[in-house]
Amino acid sequence: MTGQRASSEPFELVGDDDMGVVLVHGFTGTPYEVGYLGDKLAAAGYTVRAPRLPGHGTTLAHLDATTWEDWAEAVERAVDALRVRCRRVAVVGQSLGGLLALHLASHRPDVCAVASLAAPLWLDGLNGRVAHWTRPGGWLSRVTKLPKLSGSDVRDPRTKAENPCYEGIPTRALAQLMAFMKVTDDALPSITQPVLVLHATQDHTAPVACAQRIAERAHAKRVRILPRSYHLIAVDVERDIVAAEVVEFLRTCGDKQCAT
User: What is the C-alpha separation between 103 and 184, in angstroms, rounded?
Assistant: 5
The sign of the torsion formed by the CA atoms of 96, 101, 102, 106 equals positive
Catalytic residue among 25, 103, 199, 231: 231
Beta bridge mates, 50: 11
User: What is the C-alpha separation between 160 and 150, in angstroms, rounded?
Assistant: 10
Catalytic residue among 64, 153, 156, 203: 203
Beta bridge mates, 211: none
Which residues, at least 6 apart from 216, have a Cβ–Cβ distance to it below 8 Å?
A: none
User: What is the C-alpha separation between 175 and 63, in angstroms, rounded?
Assistant: 12
Give catalytic status of residue 203 as yes or no. yes
Calculate the alpha carbon distances from 69 to 33, 65, 101, 145, 157 in Å.
21, 12, 13, 21, 34
Calculate the alpha carbon distances from 166 to 5, 10, 56, 57 in Å.
18, 16, 8, 8
User: What is the C-alpha separation between 77 and 150, in angstroms, rounded?
Assistant: 33
Catalytic residue among 95, 106, 116, 229: 95
Give catalytic status of residue 231 as yes or no. yes
| Active site residues per annotation | 95, 203, 231
